[in-house]
């Protein structure tokens, strides 16, 4: 009988940043459709100058809690320009489904050097964006 790994599966919608490895947050964004779906994109900068990105759709509560996460896509070791390409692709995906984009909220973390400060800034930004996103 094969052993079963009972450890919880990693949450692919999170993006761990390890400053000891030279990693830092890069940018984050929400794109909200008028149909009520929020798409999240977050990227970290790797020591080699490439990006790891996580993209997924979710329902976003007013408290910034992302519920019913679905459609997770992890994109690793990409050029920095890929963030903007993915952000445009999310908007195109929404309009391609016949929906309208309600709004785009982006947060640039590149000017904050300390990773702990970046994490605090990201958390505050998520809460602010969640308040601005109008439920459908």
- CA 108 – CA 122 distance, rounded (Å): 9
In order along its 136 residues, the chain shows pLDDT tens digits of 444 334 443 454 568 899 999 999 999 999 999 998 899 999 999 999 999 999 999 888 877 788 888 878 899 999 999 999 999 999 999 999 999 999 999 999 999 999 999 999 999 999 899 888 866 5
- Decide: 60 and 66 in contact? Cβ < 8 Å: yes
What pTM was computed for the model?
Answer: 0.85
- Structure tokens, 28: 């984050």
Instruction: Please return the burial class of 134, using the count of CB atoms within 10 Å of its CB with bins 0-12, 13-18 and 19+.
Output: exposed
User: For the chain, which residues make up each domain, given as ranges?
Assistant: 21-132
């Amino acid at each position: 009988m094969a052993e079963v790994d009972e450890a919880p599966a990693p949450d692919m919608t999170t993006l761990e940043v390890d400053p000891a490895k030279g990693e830092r947050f890069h940018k984050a964004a929400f794109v909200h459709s008028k149909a009520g779906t929020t798409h999240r994109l977050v990227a970290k900068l790797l020591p080699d100058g490439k990006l790891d990105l996580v993209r997924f759709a979710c329902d976003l509560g007013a408290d910034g809690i992302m519920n019913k996460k679905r459609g997770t896509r992890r994109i690793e070791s990409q050029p920095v320009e890929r963030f903007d390409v993915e952000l445009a692709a999310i908007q195109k995906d929404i309009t391609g489904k016949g929906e309208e984009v309600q709004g785009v909220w982006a947060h640039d973390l590149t000017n904050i050097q300390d990773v702990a400060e970046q994490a605090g800034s990201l958390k505050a930004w998520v809460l602010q964006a969640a308040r601005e996103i109008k439920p459908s």
